Structures are given as C-alpha cells and as structure tokens.
Amino acid sequence: MKIAIVGLGYVGLPLSLQFAKSGVEVLGLDIDPDKVSSLNRGHSYIHHIQSEDINVQLKAGRFSASTDFSGVRQVAAVIICVPTPLSKNREPDMSYIIKTGESIAPHLHEGILVVLESTTYPGTTDEDLRQVLESGSGLKAGKDFHLAFSPEREDPGNPDSKVALIPKIVGGYTAACRDKALALYSHAIKTVVPVSSCRAAEATKLLENIFRSVNIALVNELKVVYAAMGIDVWEVIQAARTKPFGYMAFYPGPGLGGHCIPIDPFYLTWKAREYSQATRFIELAGEINTAMPEYVVQRVIEALNARRKPANGSRVLLLGLAYKADVDDLRESPTFKLLDLLKMRGADVAYYDPYIPVIGPTREHAEWKGLESVPWDRQSIGSFDVVLIATAHRNVDYRELAEWAETIVDTRNALAGVKTKPGQVWKA
Ligand SMILES: NC(=O)c1ccc[n+]([C@@H]2O[C@H](COP(=O)([O-])OP(=O)(O)OC[C@H]3O[C@@H](n4cnc5c(N)ncnc54)[C@H](O)[C@@H]3O)[C@@H](O)[C@H]2O)c1
C-alpha cells in the first residue's frame, strides 16, 4: 500500500516513519523545498527524530519526500498534518488546510481516503475541507472518495511516547469513511478508537487540550495564591499526587508554550460564537496563563531588589528557550515574552539552551533572530546578576548552576534536591 502524508513537521514526519516502519510506502509532501531535500538526503531537522531512522526507510524505498502533489494520483490515502495557528487577532488561520485541500483536490481519484489530522474546530473536515476537495476534484465525499478526521496526539520530548502505542481517535464523514480510516491506521497504530463523526473526533482533541490549559491555569493561580501565604505549590502538588484516585498532577510554569495548548482552545471559542455559546473556562484559563510571564518578571525584579540591584542595567540569563523540556521547539515559547518584558525594563538579556545554539527565523519574534546561546561555564554563567529558569531541560547540570550563579529564579522547580545557598533561589 502507498499513502501520502502532507506536512512533514513535528507531526507528519514521525507519523510517516511509523507507517514506513509498518511496511506502508509513504510519499511525504511539503511546500518547503529545503525540508524535502534535507529529508531525501536522510537528514532530520528535528532534534528528537534520528537521521538514522529516516535513512533506514529511504534505503528500504518506503519513504521519499516531494513538493510535487501530483503523486497523490498514485496513493490510496492522504493524511494532512499542516499547521493550524491563530491569526494576529487570535482567530483560526485555516489557510494551510485550505491551501493543502486546493493542492491535492485536482489529483483525487475514486476510492481515495483523505484524513485531516491538524487540530481544529468541529466542522472543519465536513464543511471547510470537504467543500475545497469536492469543488477542486468534481468528486463527492462519502460517495466517490472517503473523508475522515483523526487527531494527532504527539508528546514531543517524551522518550516513552511512541506513535504506534498512542491510541488513535477516528471519526468519518460516513460510516464507510470511518471504517476505511480505521483500516488505514490499523497498519501502523496498535489501538484505534472509532467515534461517530469527524466533528466528535475534532471535539475530542479540543477537550484534551482545553483540559490541559484549564488545569495548568488552576495550578498557576494556586502558585500565586500559595506563594503569598508562604506555601510552596510544588510541595503541595507532590503531596496531592499521592492520592490514588480523583487527582491528576499538573505543574505551574512561566506561561503556556508550544503549537497546541495556547492556541487550540481558541479554535473552539471562535466556533462557539457561531452557536451563541460562551467558553468561559477557556477565556479564564487564557487570562491566567497569559499573565504568568508578567508575574515571573516581578519575581525577578524582587530577587534583584534583594541584592540592591535595579532591573534596568542588570544582566539576566534566561535558561531554556524551548517551550518545554528536552525539545528544540521554540514555537509560542513563553521565554520570548520574558525576554521582551525584561528588555522593556532595561535589563541586559541573554539565553542558554543546549538545544538551540542560535535563534533562527521565527514567525513572531524576528527581533531576536541571530542571538546566540551563551557558553556554559563558570565565567559565563557567573557573570549574570540573575538566572531565570524558564525551561528545565534534563541535560542541564543544575548543581553547576547553583555553584556558579549568584541568584536564581526557578519557575520549574528544577533546583529541587540541589544544594543551594540561603536567599539564592526564588521560586516563581
Ligand atoms: N507538534 C505537536 O506536538 C502537535 C501535537 C498534536 C497536534 N498537532 C497539530 O498538528 C498540526 C501540525 O503541527 P506540526 O507541529 O507538525 O506543525 P509543523 O509546523 O511542525 O509542520 C507543518 C508542516 O507543514 C508544511 N506545510 C505548510 N503548509 C503546507 C501546505 N499547504 N502543503 C504542504 N505542506 C505544508 C510546513 O512546511 C511544515 O513542514 C497542527 O494542527 C498542530 O496543532 C501538533
């Protein structure tokens, strides 16, 4: 069997390799010619995906990448994994899905299956995508070709999270579409979970991400309240998680990051307006999580103040630029917000991140392009007035940090269990 996977990013690339490993021939399609040629040379551009894994599949003839969408004519199924960001006004940006639909529509043929994986609001697959595919191909969904939605559940940076072992939700435009999609994923994924429609599958993914956003907001709020009472929220969470039922641990931080949690809930907020429905939990969680960088910066200012130093002119090192530990993904990273806020107050800012030696081009933070990670040694780290831990990569030596840095503001409890000096560490 041969399939096409459109969008060879953090979702599409591992999925392509998983299908290839399962014996399915995969044509990877992307509009970025650099990514395509790098993949065809066997080079991974994502830290946690090994070049070796790509090479094995290239050599076996089970994976190739291309920018030519006419290859869709030769495949039994197309899986779409393109970005779904928010526009400047925080509205869903459907342009990537629509453009992909337009690119593949002329090449659709009778019996082909099209599955959307990008996170989005209910109705995207059976309204927006279906219309583009039908008008561009002259074929009818559910009659001439199959259409389904199956959300991605990637956990980047978690070595125990294997694509094949994460159950896959599948909803079809018709029951036949669903069965076709279930059969496709069964080649590569151990457990497939059918739901009644594309919309139910789209809504499932949103529930999962809204659940995270709301629970992170809850512990972020409790962090601030408990800190005012002299209580360490990290200690409280550790204690609460000993309860064997009815509790699930979430952890506070300097603000939301990544492609999903800060963005996806607002896809539902936007769509809910069409039905005159309010999404108050989503809005409140967004408000609390968005306020976190400002709270953290206030803690940095307090920490400097305790050393009789003003923020203006102080040297501040941001430790961790990636939005989460052990990955090189800096999309929506709150560290950018922290850099901006500290710079606004006159601080002389720098960063250290073992996974990001230099800041490349980004959609929203062009002004930081070209900034390089500082060296990791006593002289370099010791030259800062304060080190702010924004992301707790596991390969950072926090004992060395405690030895070298005068003052540390820790938003991740990274220094738990590390010997520190009195007054050296400020939790935030
Ligand atoms: N990254 C995650 O951990 C994660 C987890 C779950 C769900 N998702 C969702 O999966 C989707 C994809 O996310 P991602 O992280 O893989 O994004 P990404 O930016 O890493 O990759 C998207 C890829 O699509 C390509 N692309 C853009 N427009 C295209 C087009 N018109 N035709 C072909 N290719 C095109 C880009 O060049 C890029 O290589 C999003 O909807 C996201 O919300 C992501």
> Measured in angstroms, how far is the CA atom of residue 117 from the centroid of ligand 1?
9
260 catalytic residue (yes or no)? yes
Summarize pLDDT for 303-328 with one digit per residue, the tens.
999 999 999 999 999 999 999 999 99
pLDDT given for residue 349 in this prediction: 98
Average pLDDT of the residues of the chain: 96
Q: Ligand 1 pocket check: which of 97, 259, 261, 329 to mutate, most ligand atoms within 8 Å of Cβ?
A: 259
> Measured in angstroms, how far is the CA atom of residue 151 from the centroid of ligand 1?
12
pLDDT given for residue 259 in this prediction: 82
pLDDT given for residue 158 in this prediction: 80
> Measured in angstroms, how far is the CA atom of residue 79 from the centroid of ligand 1?
12
> Measured in angstroms, how far is the CA atom of residue 161 from the centroid of ligand 1?
19
- How far apart are alpha carbons 390 and 333 in whole angstroms? 9
> Measured in angstroms, how far is the CA atom of residue 363 from the centroid of ligand 1?
14
Q: Ligand 1 pocket check: which of 6, 104, 121, 152 to mutate, most ligand atoms within 8 Å of Cβ?
A: 152
Calculate mean pLDDT across residues 66-81: 98
pTM of the model: 0.93
Q: Among positive and negative, which fits the CA dihedral 85, 158, 150, 204?
A: negative
Catalytic residue among 81, 177, 198, 260: 260
Most confident of 254-268, 285-299, 359-373: 285-299
Q: Could you tell me the two tokens for 222?
A: 């409790």
- How far apart are alpha carbons 405 and 386 in whole angstroms? 7
Name the residue with the closest Cα to ligand 1, atom 5: 154
Calculate mean pLDDT across residues 109-121: 98
pLDDT interval class at 73 (50, 70, 90)? very high
pLDDT given for residue 374 in this prediction: 98
For residue 157, pLDDT over 90 is answered with no
Q: Using a 6 Å CB cutoff, which residues line ligand 1? A: 6-12, 29-32, 35, 81-84, 96, 99-100, 103, 117-119, 152, 154, 156, 259-260
Q: Percentage of the chain with pLDDT > 70?
A: 100
For residue 122, pLDDT over 90 is answered with yes
Name the residue with the closest Cα to ligand 1, atom 23: 7
Instruction: Give the atom of ligand 1 at the shortest distance from the alpha carbon of 100.
Output: 31
Summarize pLDDT for 217-236 with one digit per residue, the tens.
999 999 999 999 999 999 99
Q: Which of 391, 380, 397 is nearest to 335 (CA)?
A: 391
pLDDT given for residue 176 in this prediction: 98
Name the residue with the closest Cα to ligand 1, atom 1: 10
For residue 90, pLDDT over 90 is answered with no
Calculate mean pLDDT across residues 371-398: 98
Name the residue with the closest Cα to ligand 1, atom 24: 7
- How far apart are alpha carbons 10 and 83 in whole angstroms? 10
